[in-house]
Structure 1
Amino acid sequence: MNISNERWIRDVVVEILGEEPATISDGENLFEAGLDSVGLLRLVNRLRRGGLQVSFGDLAREPTLAAWDRLVGSEKAADDGAEPASGHTADAPDEGGANSEPTQLGVMQHAYWVGRSAGQRLGGVAAHLYAEFDHPPTGTDPAIDANRLKAALERVLERHETLRTRITSDGRQEVLAKLSALLAVHDMRGHSEAEVQDHLSRMRDAFSHQALDIDNGEVMSVALTLLPDGATRLHLDVDMIAADAVSYRILLADFAALYGSPSLNLPPLGLNYRDYLAGTRSGHAQRVHQAAEAWRERLPTLPGAPILPEVIEATSRDATPRVARRHLWLAPGQKQQLTEIARRNGVTVAMTVATVLSEVVGHWSTTDHFLLNVPMFDRAANHPDIDRIVGDFSSSVMLEVDLRQPLTFVDRVRALQARMHADAAHASHTGLDVLRDLGRQRGETVLAPVVFTSALGLGELFAPAVTAVVGRPVWVISQGPQVLLDAQVTEFEDGLLVNWDTREDALAPGVVDAMFTAFEQVLREVIDEPAAWNRPIRISTANAQRRRSGDRDVRIVDAAGCDRPDHVAGRLLFAGEDEQGRRPWGRADESGGVRLLGDDDERVDVHGIPVWPVEVEDAIRSDGRIGEVAVVRHDESLVAVVAFEPSTEADTRMTGKAFRAQLARRIPSHLLPSRIIVVDRLPRNADGGANSDALDRLISAKSERSDHVAPRTDLERVLAGAWEEILGLENIGVNEEFIALGGDSLLAARVVSRLREELDTNAVTLRALFRSPTIAELAEQLRKDGDPARLDEVASIVLEIRAMSDDEVASHLGETASDTSSRQSGTAA
């Protein structure tokens, strides 16, 4: 290791930590000095740009300057690093008057695009960040000049191509050569206070839950409300498909600079987002392969999502999902306290907050072993302009949280931090890749709907130079597809701001308020009481003493004898009875009532999640067409036998597989029975109860393939052929569900692209596939949306072509070209 490299590494570390060089010793644990995962990512990229091939995992294993000097000096940097890094240096971006050729989306961009499609659990949501800024009167009227604002927006659009990018119907991005900034100005200066507040409320509601028209290049929406006395409110909504958290800061900084100095010429950019993506895809294939192998070795033991108390609606949610924000601000003094105590314990502030979140989530989860979705912000390109361009550079890590063993809080944080560093060392295989791997293994969609986003180390969300121009932020909210809870921690006004954005329509009443209250209590406890770090976290459960089952008082407790919160399963402990012995399971609701679930011998573990037949029956009964249902344990799985109400359309033609596919769109996967058998009526005993022996015989007699239905029409055969080729399967029935066959969003996009080309129709979309996830349903939907006769004709031609050999196709095309040439010659003559 030469002296210049050694000094340079120290200088980079000092810069990231903001410390004096003399205060950091060679053997000091840099995590104790304040380095966090975001800072470590920045450090890795800075070192790589300087020609040093290091990885996240290498540096995290022994975080001292002395160890890093030895690592680089011995040229032993491992090639199993975390980030999708690239040494790519892009050429100057294309400039011209034409739109770009469509290119692939980035990893998270694709997930955001897919998540906009309804018909999937927790889908139908645009990923976007909406903020409102209030500027007080400045002596001029108004505080923000609309014309100057629009001019600055035009220049920001011109500078950053992702802000004028449209997403094509087949899931690619096309940069528009020119896109005018749209600015809506609402003049409320002559209106009453009540009218102003009504307008602002309606604007907030509309902007908070809108889905921008990304098909036509609308990835940013801006409005300005002129308020009485010269004040203004700026409304800014940015779709995350165009800008991640770091890019959002860049966008605001550029806008503020251009508004503040209209004649300013920002330095030109020598790199664009498309070239960045192309460079990252072309490099480090070995690192990606090694990361994928590391994750796949862990698949058999990886958990799924935490099981929070959800509301199961009678139908799929077609209404606009409702997201609400709760926030907690830690003043600068509290931030300093937390920082100091975290450093003394050798952990980061981010992992401390993540551990508090994990403890709270685990308290409200049916399972205490789950995945936490942790976004990562990584700009890994060897280019001087990489930190000045706007785009989505984010990825994610699936952080395994294991609360099954009691630990002191400090040991829990250390364990989670060690797991985070180990998982991040293989982040080249992204969190989305891991979820797809799990989904293929389990034959179901696997979600990670609880998100923890740390923006610590990225600087203030709204820099002083920005707020000086646009005003103080008074409202911020974000939402994303397939997310129940997104917890974020960021620096704000010299303190720490923790936000919770939650799907209010999806979680049981009272759950989020109780969880957030507990989160705040625990976080303040670990800040104010150093002794709290040396004991396990205990979360009190409100209303635990008011529960009754029949005429008896009852407690619902976990394995340690602690009270369970409302809507979470636990063992029933009746008043006056000994805690020892066999206990049934149950859960309480917000009114104090108790739902009995059953005994241990009735329970089935679904990927580590305890499930009882009555829970599955309740979920199935939420479908208003069901007349009777019985769920029984059969060969270590749960099988449902259902009878539809005679008056429903489903009564005559719904198969078990088709009904299961419909259920999969709206109920959690662990509540889906492994099989559903449809009957005219359930077998009953003389007393009217379900005849369990008869049900067992019925289930045994009905094999899984007994309701297999082969494609019946040319259109169904075309659909089946595409599915079979892309999924690598044979003999797919028309009632088989796409996801259950091993499909995922990437494969779905390939199916859609293939069928759009073969059937020559734009009616085949991801939305259509997710809403109609069986061949029978998709064929029926396409016939409704298009011309059935034309579809049948095209499908027949497709089947003819598929039956031809390559030579026959070439011969046919040659004859067609010859015929066309002859006709053209005849016309010319």
Structure 2
Amino acid sequence: MANWTKDDVRHAVAGVLGVDPGTISDTENLIGQGMDSIRMMKLAGGWRRAGAAVTFRLLAENPTVEQWHTALTAGAPSSPTPQEETTAGTVPGPRPVDAEAAFDLTPVQRAYWIGRREGMPLGGVGCHAYLELDGSDIRPERLETAVQRVLARHPMLRARFLDDGRQQILTESPWPGLVVHDLTATEPEKTERGLDELRARLSHRVLDVAAGEVFDVQLTLLPGGATRVHVNIDLLVADVASIERVLADLAAAYRDPEGLPSPPPYAFPQYLADYRAWCGSPGDPAAPLAVARDYWRARLPELPAEGPALPLAKRPQEVVRPRFSRRSFLLDADAWQRLTGRARAHGLTAASVLAAAYAEVLGAWSENRHFLLNIPLFDRQPLHPAVDDLVADFTSLVLLSVDVRRPAPFVERVRDLQGQLQRNVSHGQYSALSVLQDLRRARRGKPVSAPVVFACNLGSAFVRPDVQTELGAWSWMLSQTPQVMLDHQVYEIDGALLLAWDAVDELFPEGLMDDMVRSYEALLNRLAEPDADWAAPAAVASPAPAGEPGPMRTTGSVS
């Protein structure tokens, strides 16, 4: 890529940021323009696919057009050395796979699949997302046709999961057709009770994935022409970006049943084969998989072995049937804009700021203040031009070591976490699940876990405006994940920020999650204030007896 100009780099950057290239200077820190890890990974992967020797870590350490242009035109070898980060991007040679044959699960899929079994701590639940869209005058026959079109377009929505731990795409989906709940003639009180009962049942379903039941849409008809669309999708077959695609396609097919594009010319079984081939053999010390493994194993002595030790009402193994509930709040558009502006001024990503604030709150309640956070990455690699159109679970998990034992300026806390996250993401080919297994061996069988999650879904609208126009406003959602006690999810919506905590209430003392969420909301609003002092330690409301206000304290101090 020696013939690339700075303007070429600038236009590529502007493309992923969605801004005018003229607003990007040669030397400006691109994080200040909204660049984040996921976008950098896409750029690095695409440039490596074109033959450049750029790496995600190099982009993260020098986020300017000038530095990236220098890297792209340096003429270095196209294969990374063991010392370079190992984000994928080079397309392997053709290795055709039989799309109808059974194929292996990814590490994350395997964890979801095993965790849904009865008898596992915090198991016996499906890993799924359930959401509701409230609209009007939805026609059942058109919605059923739209679902069938979406099932035909996306093979993984027809996947079944076999007893031997593999998955297979079916020619036809076993979806039985649209279930319609007719509440049009019921009295208001009975209507609300019926909707509550339906939500309680659908939001905690364990789909029969062995039979290929991984996606379901139902419809409720309400008085006055109001409607509610219920969408349930198992996360074995769809990450967040895939759910966005499914909803967008469902709306498009409802609007025009014949207008949906044909299936992508590239499928998930082929993607996995290509990706695994690129990662290489663990016996080859220069292979990305081996480089990542060695990085993580070198870090084992410094890693904590568990997540935050929050107060518990009962032990995880005593919870027979985990049920998640959601607490959420909205950071309004003005506050969100101020927060992101402050972050960019410091050269920090908004995601890192949110992760650090979440960590401060967890640390205020945790008995241990050096703990693991579990970070899902939705980082599908550009191994084929059609990858972005695929519906599948591309999730990988990365562990983040949080240390709030001593007070530190908030901006430094964020910078430390951001740097660590960038390094860890650079070595994501070695699964966090493998890291936990290595930790367990290093601790000679002592408990090792990371059941507290931070899932940040910034950069796109989870439910796009056209979806809400066609099918109804996004009004409610719940996710659940086996072997997880608390899952914090972040979504942008209409310029504001939705922050949701999905937790297994039975695990925690009454009121604990409410107190923690209120403390987190207060911290974010303080950080978004124009005169907020990010050079000072974050002040978090400390735990207090029920009914009493907690004093403010800096995480890491003794109260």
Residue number among 303, 310, 313 corresponding to 1:311 in the alignment: 313
Secondary structure at the aligned position of 1:189 is classed as coil
Q: Is the 8 A contact 1:47 1:54 kept in 2?
A: yes
Q: Which residues of structure 1 form unaligned runs of 5+?
A: 137-142, 548-554, 564-829
Partners of 2:555 and 2:430 lie apart in 1 by: 36
Residues 84, 427 of structure 1: 8 Å contact kept:
no
Aligned partner of 1:392 in structure 2 is 393
Residue in 1 that maps onto 2:33: 33
Moved more, 56-65 or 230-239: 56-65
SS in 1 for 2:4: helix
Give the C-alpha shift of residue 497 in structure 1: 1.0
CA distance in structure 1 between the partners assigned to 2:316 and 2:19 by the alignment: 57
Question: Is 1:229 the equivalent of 2:224?
Answer: yes
1:240 maps to a residue whose letter is L
* Aligned positions of 1:307-346 closer than 5 A: 307-312=309-314, 316-318=318-320, 320-346=321-347
> Does residue 412 of the first structure (1) align with residue 439 of the second (2)?
no
User: Of 421, 425, 449, which aligns to 1:447?
Assistant: 449
Partners of 2:149 and 2:260 within 8 A in 1? no
Q: Per the alignment, do residues 256 and 441 of structure 1 end up closer, same or farther by CA in structure 2, a change over 3 Å counting?
A: same
- 2 CA distance for matches of 1:93 and 1:196? 50
Determine if the alignment matches structure 1 residue 62 to structure 2 residue 81.
Answer: no
Residues 4 and 72, structure 2, Cα contact 8 Å, conserved in 1: no
Q: Deviations over 1:122-165 (max 9, x none)?
A: 222211100011103xxxxxx11111111111111111111011
Distance 1:445 1:278 in 2: 33
Q: Which has the larger radius of gyration?
A: 1
Higher relative contact order (CA 8 A, sep 6+): 2
Equivalent position of 1:520 in the other structure: 521
CA distance in 2, matches of 1:248, 1:545: 39
Q: 1:6 to 1:288 in 2, by over 3 A?
A: farther
Equivalences for residues 710-749 of structure 1 within 5 A:
none
8 Å contact 2:376–2:455 — kept in the other structure?
yes
Question: Per the alignment, in what secondary structure is the counterpart of residue 455 of structure 1?
Answer: strand
Using the size of structure 2 for normalisation, the TM-score is 0.92
Q: Secondary structure at the match of 1:32?
A: helix
Number of positions where the alignment pairs a residue of Structure 1 with one of Structure 2: 543
Q: What TM-score does the superposition give when structure 1 sets the normalisation length?
A: 0.63
For 1:127 and 1:314, locate their aligned partners in 2 and report how far apart those are by CA, in whole Å: 17
Alignment of 1:517-556 (within 5 A): 517-541=518-542, 543=544
**Deviation sequence 1:74-116 (CA, Å, 0-9, x none):** 2347444353545147689868xxxx22110112111110110
For 2:271 and 2:45, the matched residues in 1 are separated by: 14
Structure 1 residue 155 corresponds to structure 2 residue 149: yes
Instruction: Say whether the 8 Å CA contact 2:49–2:90 is kept in structure 1.
Output: no
| Structure 1 residues 238-637: aligned runs within 5 Å | 238-285=233-280, 286-304=287-305, 305-312=307-314, 316-318=318-320, 320-442=321-443, 443-457=445-459, 459-541=460-542, 543=544, 562-563=558-559
What SS is found at the alignment partner of 1:456?
Answer: strand
Q: Name the structure 2 match of 1:51.
A: 51
Q: State whether structure 2 residue 196 is matched by structure 1 residue 190.
A: no
List alignment gaps of at least 5 residues for structure 2: 281-286
- Counterpart of 2:283 in structure 1 is none
Distance 1:546 1:361 in 2: 20
After TM superposition, give the deviation of residue 340 of structure 1 in Å. Answer: 1.0
Alpha-carbon shift at residue 455 of structure 1 (Å):
0.9
Q: What is the CA–CA distance in structure 2 between the aligned matches of 1:265 and 1:151, rounded to whole Å? A: 12
CA 1:412–1:560 in structure 2 vs 1: closer, same or farther (change >3 Å)?
A: closer
- Coordinate RMSD, CA, aligned: 2.3
Report matched runs for 1:653-664 at 5 Å.
Answer: none
Deviation at 1:4, TM superposition (A): 3.2
Kindly state the Cα deviation for residue 211 of structure 1 after the two structures are TM-superposed: 0.6
1:83 aligns with 87
Q: Please name the residue that 1:173 is paired with.
A: 167
Question: CA 1:25/1:475 → structure 2, altered by over 3 Å: closer, same or farther?
Answer: same
1:212-254: CA deviation from partner (whole Å, max 9, x where unpaired): 0001000012210011111110111100001000100111111
Contact 2:406 2:555 in 1 (8 A): no
1:144 aligns with one of 134, 138, 148 = 138
* Distance in 1 of aligned mates of 2:478 and 2:213: 19
Letter in 1 for 2:273: A
Q: Which residue of 1 aligns with 2:284?
A: none
- The equivalent residue for 1:577 is none
Aligned letter for 2:344? R
User: Residues 398 and 423 of structure 1 are in contact (CA less than 8 Å); yes or no, is this contact kept in structure 2?
Assistant: yes
| Aligned equivalents of 1:477, 1:55: Cα separation in 2 | 36
**1:775-805 residue CA offsets vs partner (Å, 9 max, x unmatched):** xxxxxxxxxxxxxxxxxxxxxxxxxxxxxxx
Closer, same or farther in 2 for the Cα pair 1:539/1:558, shift >3 Å? Answer: closer
Change (3 A) 1:362 1:228: same
Which string of whole-angstrom CA distances, capped at 9 and with x for unpartnered residues, describes residues 327-359 of structure 1?
121222222111111111111111111110000
**Cα 1:295–1:469 shift into 2, 3 Å:** same
CA distance in 1, matches of 2:497, 2:489: 10
Q: In the aligned structure 1, how far is the partner of 2:167 from the partner of 2:535?
A: 51
Q: Conserved in 1, the CA contact under 8 Å of 2:140 and 2:219?
A: yes
Secondary structure of 1:491's counterpart equals strand
Once the 2 structures are TM-superposed, how far is the Cα of residue 508 of structure 1 from its aligned partner?
Answer: 2.3
- Cα distance in 1 for partners of 2:555, 2:150 equals 57
Percent identical: 37
